[in-house]
Each structure stands twice: as C-alpha cells, then as structure tokens.
Amino acid sequence: MQKDKNDRLNRTEGGKSPVRQDECRRAAKYNYACMEDTTVQVVEGFSERLAQLRSAKGVSGREMSLSMGQSAGYINNIENGNNLPSLAMFFEICEYLHVSPQEFFNYIGSGEDSMFMDVLRNLSSEDKDLLLRLAKRMAGETCK
C-alpha cells in the first residue's frame, strides 16, 4: 500500500514529530531559566567572596585593580556583578589575595557563617585543637 505526498504522517525533517519538538522547546526554556538562576547565584557568590577577601586584605578595589595592571574599575566591576574574570585573571586574583583557587571557593555562604569561618582560619593550630575538643565535649563526645 502506497501513500502519496499528502497522506504522509505529520513529521518534520529528521523524523521528529511536532509534539516532540514542542516538548523539547519547553524543556530547553526550563533548563535555560534554571541555568540563568544558577549563573546569577554563581556570579553573586563569586562577587561577594572577592569583596570579602579583598576587604580582609585591606585594599580598595581600585588599588587592587591597578596593582594587577588592570583599569581602575576592573575589580569593582567584578564585585558589582558586571563582569567575571578570565580563568587566567582568576588565578592572578588568587595569587594577589594569597589564597588558592580551592580556598577562594571553599567557604560557607555569607554572614555569620562566613565570619565564623574567617575567624577559624586565623586561629593557631593549638587554638583549633582546643576549640575542637570543646565542641566535642559540648556535643557529648569523649575527647582524646
């Protein structure tokens, strides 16, 4: 049994049905929206972390930018979420701030948790040990 051109199944090029294409478009729009949300969170987190580390070092954004051979507003543009550095510049930023890339991203959110973690990082190993023993004691664990 032969079918003529007008009796073909309703298909588009490549054998995909229009229904399937609509599903793919909806999924793509959803994924793009999710990707936008994630990107905004990453940019905001990156910007906040850079500002936090720069402030801890006690330098202005302008001073840091010029020291790195960039325009005066380079770091401020990153901290305001207008730009992100290239990978090479990210490594230079880490070097300038005396942190490893892992340390740059290894933080807990912002606010009190972040301040707490900054204080912990600056403790001596003896104080860290004492604090750990105290925390274990408070949690009901036996200290060794």
pLDDT, tens only, 27-68? 555 454 544 555 666 677 888 899 999 999 999 999 999 999
Token pair belonging to 109? 């959110």
User: What is the arithmetic mean of pLDDT over 112-140?
Assistant: 79
The sign of the dihedral angle between the CA atoms of 43, 49, 53, 59 is positive
Q: Is CATH 3.90.1650.10 the right assignment for the domain spanning 18-100? A: no
> How far is the C-alpha of 82 from the C-alpha of 64, rounded, in Å?
17
Rounded to two decimals, what is the model's pTM? 0.51
Residues 6+ apart with CB under 8 A from 28: none
Greatest CA separation for the chain: 87
